[in-house]
Structure 1
Amino acid sequence: MIPYGRQDITQADVDAVLAVLNSDFLTQGPMVPRFEQKVAAHVGARHALAVNSATSALHIACLALGLGQGDWLWTTPITFVASANCGLYCGAQVDFVDIDPRTYNLCPQSLAAKLEIAEREGRLPKVLVAVHLCGQPCDMAAIHSLARRYGFRIIEDASHAIGGKYRGEYIGNGRYSDITVFSFHPVKIITTAEGGMTLTNDEELAHRMNLLRSHGITRDAAHMTHEPDGPWYYQQIDLGFNYRMTELQAALGISQMDRLDDYVARRHQLARRYDEVLADLPVITPWQHPDNYSGLHLYVIRLQLEKISKTHREVFETLRAQDIGVNLHYIPLHTQPYYQEMGFKVGDFPEAERYYREAISLPLFPAFTAAQQELVVEALKNSL
């Protein structure tokens, strides 16, 4: 089966991990800070903190921003569950903003309308998680302008978007947000096997997230409540977690970063080919904003169901039967049983639901060959 996504591991990656296995440190050594510095320098952020998953990164980002009981976190319904669950971990309530039908990202116009109502009702969000779906950045300038007006904080969930650009600048530089989160899961643009990272330009937020990823413990006397008893001394000054990244993961990440721009360029090359060969089929191909540069983690088509005689499910299953590992990103969160128990229901976010009824993620990854892509296209034609 041709998968929808797959990691690309080279001999250089293997050598980097083996070097760590033969070194003195498997965890809490020099590789993690080196990886953090490399990513921060690449995207133009002041601080980067590597953790064991993007979910952990979202959690500590919310905590660092003070999200808690009585607060609201808003995000898009078309995302992985972690983008919303991070708010629940903090004891906050969660709500959603419907998507833009062209970008599939959170719609700034819908956000503005919802904020106006929320202000009257006294339930404005404390944190907004803006998800760059498929790697295409949200309209961050518009969202940032609304944040300044209504006083909420912004987390960019850029799990799909490392290597992408918004208005000519790398996603992650923090110009329009408080914190950015990257994912390094194997199907993402670069991988550390599992892993994630938070980036910020705020020194206090960086300090707090650094504490939270490692049990809330500090060895820095400047942050202790009293003088240390000796060189062995540490203090727990917050309730944190064991969210640290290992040296093995960081070494792999450092090696993968050397190919980041090449990986994204290859994804664009493959996407352009899809755009060309699918142009005459009854599908909608991904729209790309001319001022931005998507990380292109995913290539999502939407079926024009009124023009074909098969259902969405029939097309999907026919592709799978031809060994094409298509997927669907994502099931709208407000339709999940856990969230419906909170009062959400089908019909709450119609654009997200319409997207779900039509969307299919086609295979896209750096090692995807021209021959494999032709097989996918032929299988799609047969399925339609």
Structure 2
Amino acid sequence: MIPYGRQDISEADIAAVSEVLRSDWLTQGPVVPRFEAAIAGRSGAAHAVAVNSATSALHIACLALGLGPGDLLWTSPTTFVASANCALYCGASVDFVDIDPVSYNLCPQRLEAKLLEAEALGRLPKIVIPVHLCGQPCEMAAIHALSVRFGFRIIEDASHAIGARYQNEPVGNCRYSDITVFSFHPVKIITTGEGGMALTNDAQLARQMELLRSHGITREAGEMGQPPDGPWYYEQITLGFNYRMTELQAALGLSQLSRLDEFVQRRQQLALRYDQLLANLPLTLPVQATVSESARHLYVIRLQEAAQHRFVFEALRAAGIGVNLHYIPVHLQPWYRTLGFAPGQFPQAEAYYREAISLPLYSGLSEEEQNEVAAALREVLTEAQR
């Protein structure tokens, strides 16, 4: 089976983790801050807060921005459920903005129309989370302009997009957002096993997220006005969580980060090669926006005949091609239907779901394996048309 995604672990990665295992620190040591500084430096943000998953990063980002009961968060329906669940964790409500039919990202024009309707009703969102699907950045300048006009905050869900660029600047610099979130899951561009990072240019937001990831505890003596009892003293000054990243994860991440450019370049080469291999097939291939450079986390094709979707998907898997689907629209999930969402509300996201298939794409994919994927797809499409 050729998987749709796979981590690329080198001997240097293994050595970096082994070095931590032989050290005095397995968690809350010196490597996590080094990883944070390296990601911040690579992305151009002032602050980075490492956590145990991108889901945790989204959660503490929402809390740091003050999201709570009575508030609204909007995001894309074409994303992993974490992009919406983070609002529910805070006691807030969720709604969605349909996707652009070309980029598959949250559509700024639909966002503006929905904001105008919400403004008339007095129900504007507190936070909007654009999702850089497949590694391609959203139209962040347009979304940011709307945030200034309508008064909402922005969290970029860049789980797919470390190494991507927007307007020739790295994703993660938070030029058009309050906070950006990266994921280091094994199938992402770089991995820490599990892990995530929240980046911001706001020192107060960074401080709040640091507290929230570690039980709301500080060792800065007397922060709440109480005199310290001794050198052992610590204070819980807010209700936080155990979302810390380990030294092992950070060591792996630091080692992986040294190959980020190599990983992204290889993914881009493979994506362009897919474009050539699949050019004459009855498919809609990914479109690269001119103002950005995708990290190419996923290579998603769309079938021109939705009725063939299940047949093609199952036939490819039977042929040893580990295709996947990213994603089932969040509003169609059973839990979200209990909240009042229903089919037909976001037609572009639903049309995408009926047609989309993620082909194998990862830095270690060989050209021979890619040829095998293309040949199997060609054969399956021919059979589906009979």
* Deviation for aligned residue 1:227: 2.4
Residue 310 of structure 2 corresponds to 313
Q: Where in structure 2 are there 5+ consecutive unaligned residues?
A: 382-386
* Deviation for aligned residue 1:157: 0.2
Residue 271 of structure 1 corresponds to 271
Deviations 1:124-158 (Å, cap 9, x if unpaired)? Answer: 00000110000000000000000001000000000
**Range 48-57 or range 217-226, more displaced:** 217-226
Measure, in 1, the Cα distance between the counterparts of 2:367 and 2:118.
50
Question: Are 1:381 and 2:385 counterparts?
Answer: no
Residue 71 of structure 1 corresponds to 71
* Deviation for aligned residue 1:123: 0.7
What secondary structure, in the 3-state scheme, does the structure 1 residue paired with 2:60 have? helix
Residue 117 of structure 1 corresponds to 117
Measure, in 1, the Cα distance between the counterparts of 2:205 and 2:157.
16
Residue 320 of structure 2 corresponds to 323
Residue 5 of structure 1 corresponds to 5
- Which residue identity is paired with 1:209? M
Measure, in 2, the Cα distance between the counterparts of 1:132 and 1:183.
12
Structure 1 residues 222 and 152: alpha-carbon distance in aligned structure 2, compared to 1, 3 A threshold: farther
Deviations 1:353-376 (Å, cap 9, x if unpaired)? Answer: 000000000000000000000000
Residue 300 of structure 2 corresponds to 300
Asked if 1 retains the 8 angstrom alpha-carbon contact of 2:221 and 2:233, the reply is no
Measure, in 1, the Cα distance between the counterparts of 2:228 and 2:164.
45
Residue 283 of structure 1 corresponds to 283
What secondary structure, in the 3-state scheme, does the structure 2 residue paired with 1:295 have? coil
Asked if 2 retains the 8 angstrom alpha-carbon contact of 1:218 and 1:224, the reply is no
Measure, in 2, the Cα distance between the counterparts of 1:79 and 1:227.
47
Measure, in 1, the Cα distance between the counterparts of 2:184 and 2:273.
26
* Deviation for aligned residue 1:226: 2.0
Residue 54 of structure 2 corresponds to 54
Residue 216 of structure 2 corresponds to 216
Residue 329 of structure 2 corresponds to 332
**Length, aligned pairs only:** 381
Deviations 1:242-264 (Å, cap 9, x if unpaired)? Answer: 00000000000000000001100
Asked if 1 retains the 8 angstrom alpha-carbon contact of 2:129 and 2:157, the reply is yes
Q: TM-score, normalised by structure 1?
A: 0.98
What secondary structure, in the 3-state scheme, does the structure 2 residue paired with 1:324 have? coil
Measure, in 1, the Cα distance between the counterparts of 2:11 and 2:28.
24
Measure, in 2, the Cα distance between the counterparts of 1:31 and 1:112.
43
1:20-35 equivalences under 5 Å are 20-35=20-35
1:134-153 equivalences under 5 Å are 134-153=134-153
Q: TM-score, normalised by structure 2?
A: 0.98
Deviations 1:201-234 (Å, cap 9, x if unpaired)? Answer: 0000000000000000001136333222221100
Residue 384 of structure 2 corresponds to none
Asked if 1 retains the 8 angstrom alpha-carbon contact of 2:324 and 2:357, the reply is yes
User: Which consecutive aligned stretches of 4+ in structure 1 deviate over 6 angstroms post-superposition?
Assistant: none
* Deviation for aligned residue 1:65: 0.2
Asked if 1 retains the 8 angstrom alpha-carbon contact of 2:98 and 2:349, the reply is yes
Measure, in 2, the Cα distance between the counterparts of 1:318 and 1:298.
20
Question: Are 1:91 and 2:91 counterparts?
Answer: yes
1:354-373 equivalences under 5 Å are 354-373=351-370
What secondary structure, in the 3-state scheme, does the structure 2 residue paired with 1:128 have? strand
Deviations 1:83-122 (Å, cap 9, x if unpaired)? Answer: 0000000000000000000000000000000000000101
Measure, in 2, the Cα distance between the counterparts of 1:111 and 1:225.
45
Q: Where in structure 1 are there 5+ consecutive unaligned residues?
A: none
Percent identity of equivalent pairs: 69
What secondary structure, in the 3-state scheme, does the structure 2 residue paired with 1:74 have? strand
- Which residue identity is paired with 1:72? L
What secondary structure, in the 3-state scheme, does the structure 1 residue paired with 2:130 have? strand
Root mean square deviation of aligned Cα:
0.8
- Which residue identity is paired with 2:10? T
* Deviation for aligned residue 1:296: 0.8
Measure, in 2, the Cα distance between the counterparts of 1:38 and 1:231.
31
Measure, in 2, the Cα distance between the counterparts of 1:47 and 1:196.
14
Measure, in 1, the Cα distance between the counterparts of 2:27 and 2:224.
24
What secondary structure, in the 3-state scheme, does the structure 2 residue paired with 1:215 have? coil
What secondary structure, in the 3-state scheme, does the structure 2 residue paired with 1:302 have? strand
Asked if 1 retains the 8 angstrom alpha-carbon contact of 2:222 and 2:228, the reply is no
* Deviation for aligned residue 1:291: 1.8
Question: Are 1:255 and 2:255 counterparts?
Answer: yes
